[in-house]
A and B are shown apart, each in its own frame.
Chain A
Amino acid sequence: QQQVKQSPQSLIVQKGGISIINCAYENTAFDYFPWYQQFPGKGPALLIAIRPDVSEKKEGRFTISFNKSAKQFSLHIMDSQPGDSATYFCAAINTHSNYQLIWGAGTKLIIKP
């Protein structure tokens, strides 16, 4: 119940295309869903996050779509650029319970020029 399942494990997209990464969860007590971006040799960094009271959040080329009934959320990267090549992690947390992020397994994204 504490798991966050992330897919795909790896993804190759042409420059200018749309990258889509999906996550699913079981615990309905989760109330905050962040996405982290990690470049090689660096720590993960918060990219964008959403709360379950909204169905979509957009920041620049990055959009989170959230489907509360299906317990799924996804990251869309529009007009993908080579600089977006990184590993992306979805996560979930119940901010009213123990302070522990539950992490997806990560998606290695490669944007081909």
Chain B
Amino acid sequence: DAGVIQSPRHEVTEMGQEVTLRCKPISGHDYLFWYRQTMMRGLELLIYFNNNVPIDDSGMPEDRFSAKMPNASFSTLKIQPSEPRDSAVYFCASSLPGTATGELFFGEGSRLTVL
């Protein structure tokens, strides 16, 4: 069974450019999470969805960040305009339906470098 699939794996862009990160969750999982990981701040939850509906976006750093989940098999995280401080590894994770648990299935991440 395929795991969580993220693309691109690596993205290098210049400050001010738009960045779109993509995620395909595991089929049948109804929770989807976007995390950011940096050395300084560790793992930060940006936003999560349940059944394609955004539930908590309080971790989104500012209006430059937006996330969508148009259907159960696809989500995007967009940064516009990007800034050097956005450089990080962005992870998408999904989890099983039903009672909330702490078991998340992570993708391999998208490493973003903003010059």
Name the segment of A13-21, A40-48, A71-79 touching the other chain: A40-48
Interface residues of B in 80-115 (CB under 8 A from A): 91, 93, 99-109
**A96 nearest CB neighbor, chain B only:** B100
A92-B100 Cα distance, complex, nearest whole Å: 12
Interface string of A37-71 (1 = CB under 8 A from B): 00001111110010000000000000000000000
B-side contacts of A32, CB under 8 Å: 101-102
Interface residues of A in 83-108 (CB under 8 A from B): 89, 91-93, 95-96, 98-101, 103, 105-106
Q: Which of B42, B50, B102, B106 contacts A105 (CB 8 A)?
A: B42
A91 in contact with B102 given A44-B43, A100-B56, A106-B42 (CB within 8 Å): yes
**A30 nearest CB neighbor, chain B only:** B102
A95 nearest CB across to chain B (Å): 5
**B107 nearest CB neighbor, chain A only:** A43
Is B43 a contact partner of A103 (Cβ separation < 8 A)? yes
Q: Which of B48, B102, B109 contacts A34 (CB 8 A)?
A: B102
B103 nearest CB across to chain A (Å): 5
A45 in contact with B102 given A99-B48, A103-B42, A105-B42 (CB within 8 Å): no
What is the size, in residues, of chain A's interface with B at 8 Å between Cβ atoms? 23
Is B104 a contact partner of A46 (Cβ separation < 8 A)? yes
Is B102 a contact partner of A95 (Cβ separation < 8 A)? yes
B-side contacts of A106, CB under 8 Å: 42-43
Is B50 a contact partner of A99 (Cβ separation < 8 A)? yes
A91-B104 Cα distance, complex, nearest whole Å: 11
A-side contacts of B106, CB under 8 Å: 42-45
A99 in contact with B31 given A32-B102, A106-B42 (CB within 8 Å): yes
The 5 closest A-B pairs by CB, nearest first: A43-B106, A34-B102, A99-B100, A93-B102, A32-B102
* Interchain Cβ contacts under 8 Å between A and B, 17 examples: A34-B103, A43-B93, A43-B106, A43-B108, A44-B104, A46-B102, A46-B105, A91-B102, A93-B100, A93-B102, A95-B101, A98-B56, A99-B55, A99-B100, A100-B56, A101-B45, A103-B42
